[in-house]
Amino acid sequence: MDYVKFLGTAGARVVVFKQLRASGGMWLQLKGKRVLIDPGPGALVKALSSRPKLDPTKLDAILLTHRHLDHSADVNVMIEAMTEGGWHKRGVLFAPWDALEEDPVVLRYLRGFLMGIEVLKEGGLYELDGLRFRVPLKHKHPVETYGLMIEERIGIVSDTLFFPELKEAYKGAEVLILNVVRAAERDDKVPHLTLGDAREIIEAVRPKKAVLTHFGMSMLKLGPHTVAQRLSAELGLEVIAAQDGMTLSL
């Protein structure tokens, strides 16, 4: 079965570091490949405590959309787990250049445990043994950040300040997953999508299913499930709010 499992739905510092929601990222299984996307704090624990358990030694790749801790804190322990401490060389790491070089979050001694490292770039096309994805464009965030279009049908809109090109970049996605940190109005000083931004992107892309995740405090107070129901009614398409541990069939 192809699916994405949410090992966490926390976004922004307060929700992550108080663990009001878990922050382990997303485990994607598609076309026989297993990819861990944005392993934040607790990714290993959440994978091993999942039911059924998710086995890190079966991972084929780890992908970082950017280097912020809520997206990368467990990347090193997950590389160790995937490769069984380096005894079994395995897997590919996909990450932006600055996550590897400028202010690296990936320890250098672990890099030799991997089968390869691919640097994400705007417009880049990538393949993992038949699983294809691309980076549509660079996001507007304090560090180098990218979203994903996987197999031209699954869009992942990672952290970013809203800008109009986002609405075109993810068109064609049947499933659109959006990091929606804020319920408040857009503020250029806070480079995250707001609820209004998400609505605008969803309305432009019109996926079969939109999934809200990566919630900050203001979204939790508003109630993600209630918000998703309202958007569904307003837009005439399925919008759901991710929950910790939720499995979404693809």
pLDDT score, position 226: 97
Collect all residues with Cβ–Cβ distance below 8 Å to 143 and sequence separation of at least 6. Answer: 66, 67, 68, 96, 98, 99
Question: Tokens 């485990």 map to which residue?
Answer: 27
pLDDT score, position 187: 81
How many separate domains does the chain show? 1
Nearest to 216 by CA among 8, 72, 71, 14: 14
Nearest to 32 by CA among 6, 50, 59: 59
Q: Give the side-chain half-sphere CA count within 13 A for 1.
A: 8
Q: Exposed/middle/buried for 121, CB within 10 Å: 0-12, 13-18, 19+?
A: middle
Nearest to 184 by CA among 175, 193, 176: 193
Distances (CA, A) of 43 to 79, 198, 219, 244: 11, 26, 22, 12
Q: And the tokens for 186? A: 């857009």
Q: In this structure, what CATH number is given to the domain that contains residue 189?
A: 3.60.15.10
pLDDT score, position 190: 86
Q: Give the side-chain half-sphere CA count within 13 A for 87.
A: 4
Quote helix, strand, coil % in the chain, to nearest 5.
30, 30, 45
Q: Exposed/middle/buried for 237, CB within 10 Å: 0-12, 13-18, 19+?
A: middle
Exposure b/e, 203-236, CB count within 10 A at least 16 = b? eebebebbbbbbbbbbbbeeebeebbeebbeeee
pLDDT score, position 189: 81
pLDDT score, position 184: 84
The pTM (predicted TM-score) of the whole model is 0.97
pLDDT score, position 69: 97
Walk along the chain (250 residues) and give the pLDDT tens digit of each residue.
999 999 999 998 899 999 999 999 999 999 999 999 999 999 999 999 999 999 999 999 999 999 999 999 999 999 999 999 999 999 999 999 999 998 999 999 999 999 999 999 999 999 999 999 999 999 999 999 999 999 999 999 999 999 999 999 999 999 999 999 999 888 888 899 999 999 999 999 999 999 999 999 999 999 999 999 999 999 999 999 999 999 999 9
**Structural domain containing residue 20:** 3-123+131-249
* Displacement of CA 95 from its chain's centroid (Å): 12
